[in-house]
Structure 1
Amino acid sequence: MSMTMNLTTASLALRAAEALAENLPTIKALTPVTRERAGAAGVDVSAAVVATFVGASSYDMAMAIVDGSLLAPAAGEATVSLTDLVHGALVGASDVLGDGVLGDQRVEDAAALFGDPDTAVVELFDGTELAGLFGLRARRGSTRPGSAAAEDVSGRLGRINDVEMALTVEIGRTRMPVRDVLNLEPGAVVELDRSAGAPADILLNGRLIAYGEVVVVDQDYAVRVTQILDTPDIVA
């Protein structure tokens, strides 16, 4: 990777980390500082939150917290997953990367990502103490905005912009014998395989692509997208 690209990724990583810090639910504000040395020496990144941003330029990103109690006040007494706690912060970081989609966030060992020399690493300081790390790596082979390849892809995608597809929101399913279906009457209650408050499935042409929550907008039902699935997680 060229020095120009390294500087560009480092600058972008710092801006993304600043947006991340602004949206993290911590009591104290965190200060992002570009890390001078590569890797994650001194920081446990075995349970980092990792996600992929897919756009004209695509990136892998990861965030590791040094002290879990940093986010504890936001969770309160409820059992809230780490990915849920930092979801809004990662969305804020991804907004800096341009047009695109932030994939599913997952907790995994990010040593390989932080150890990659192409990864720009930013330290997050709580005062004078290191509170965490943020890493950003441009995906190999991704196109840059304004490049000939990106414009060619955009042009080809433009040919199908007007193609209509069926978007379906599914709140649950059930299996019933034919006799029970025939006995259905107005007022009958059909129990679904989904608990109250669970996210609804969002399907595009029958393919699961995201999760969301059902809301009401101007007396009409709508769905608020809460999670977009990354390609490996999408099932037919």
Structure 2
Amino acid sequence: MTDIVETQVTESAAVAAAAALPSVDALTAGPAERPSPVLVSAFAAAVVADLGGAGGRIGLLVAPGLVAALADTPLGELDLTAVVQPALDAAAEQLGRSAQGARIVELGAIDLEMGETYIASVIADSAPVAALLVSDTAAAPAPAPSASDAPFVGTAPTSTAAGLADGPRPARGIEMLHGVIMDVTVELGRTQMSVRDLLALTPGTVLELDRAAGSPADLLVNGRLIARGEVVVVDEDFGLRVTEILDDNAGA
């Protein structure tokens, strides 16, 4: 009976995690069950997070496709833990708990990192994208607050059923990357010169670039081409009016 309850709880948590994972297509959570020895071999990375309250731990195995996508974006490599944290948060809330910060662990050490027996649910579209791991302690029903935990008269009650920690929750997920400073460059064109010609440069020298007059300038972020536009003057400064956003293939 215990396993039945734990698998049902894990499946509900996996559904919540699937809704929070980045994906073009809708993700579905498969049946929850004790993991087979070959489960880990289908994935490329592992992330775990401790749970507040009654304890326990949850984990997420991530497929090679998602790992590769995060490693090669127009904005450079994205932090795996930041991207999957919302999925762990959603799963933890479904369990009636709160997730602490995610951390990457070695795939081969996932059993040791989970710390106890656990249940897994594979999350997929047409192929596996991730697998949610829930330890037996985490899958057990969250304990009801004792009388000593009840709030005093006149204070606002706290919600443990929603898995909320005391105070506001910190910003997590992709929003953690919003403050990252990126080098943005506008390039009018390029040319090649010999060392002799470079040493012969003097004020007034005109360099011919590989771009025709009137052609759009390139917008590069950390050296990667992501857009094109036309150079404009804003007050007394140059600016770029973006006219085209490039997809991954065009910017490669």
Q: How does 1:1-236 map to 2 (within 5 A)?
A: 4-44=1-41, 47-55=45-53, 57-69=54-66, 72=69, 76-78=73-75, 79-98=77-96, 100-109=97-106, 110-112=110-112, 116=116, 118-127=117-126, 129-139=127-137, 144-146=142-144, 150-151=145-146, 154-155=149-150, 158=151, 225-226=170-171
Count of paired positions: 156
Higher share of residues assigned strand: 1
Cα distance in 1 for residues equivalent to 2:27 and 2:71: 15
Gaps of 5+ in 2: 156-165, 173-252
Name the aligned partner's letter for residue 149 of structure 2.
S
Name the aligned partner's letter for residue 68 of structure 1.
G
Provide closer, same or farther for how the CA distance between residues 54 and 5 of structure 1 changes in structure 2, counting only shifts above 3 A: farther
SS in 1 for 2:90: helix
Gaps of 5+ in 1: 163-208, 211-222, 228-236
- Measure how far apart 1:153 and its partner are: 5.4
> Deviations along 1:8-50, whole A, 9 cap, x unmatched?
2211111111011111111122221124453451434673110
Partner of 2:245 in structure 1?
Answer: none
Name the aligned partner's letter for residue 225 of structure 1.
P
TM-score normalised to the size of structure 2?
0.51
Name the aligned partner's letter for residue 19 of structure 1.
A
SS in 1 for 2:131: strand
> Deviations along 1:80-114, whole A, 9 cap, x unmatched?
1101111112111122122x432111000323356
Name the aligned partner's letter for residue 111 of structure 2.
A
- Percent identity of paired positions between Structure 1 and Structure 2: 22
Provide closer, same or farther for how the CA distance between residues 8 and 75 of structure 1 changes in structure 2, counting only shifts above 3 A: farther
Cα distance in 2 for residues equivalent to 1:135 and 1:39: 12
Whether contact under 8 Å (1:123, 1:134) holds in the other structure is yes
Q: CA RMSD in A?
A: 3.5
Cα distance in 2 for residues equivalent to 1:137 and 1:41: 18
Cα distance in 1 for residues equivalent to 2:72 and 2:86: 14
TM-score normalised to the size of structure 1?
0.54
> Deviations along 1:122-172, whole A, 9 cap, x unmatched?
012222x233211101438x88423xxx415525xx57x97xxxxxxxxxx
Cα distance in 2 for residues equivalent to 1:71 and 1:80: 10
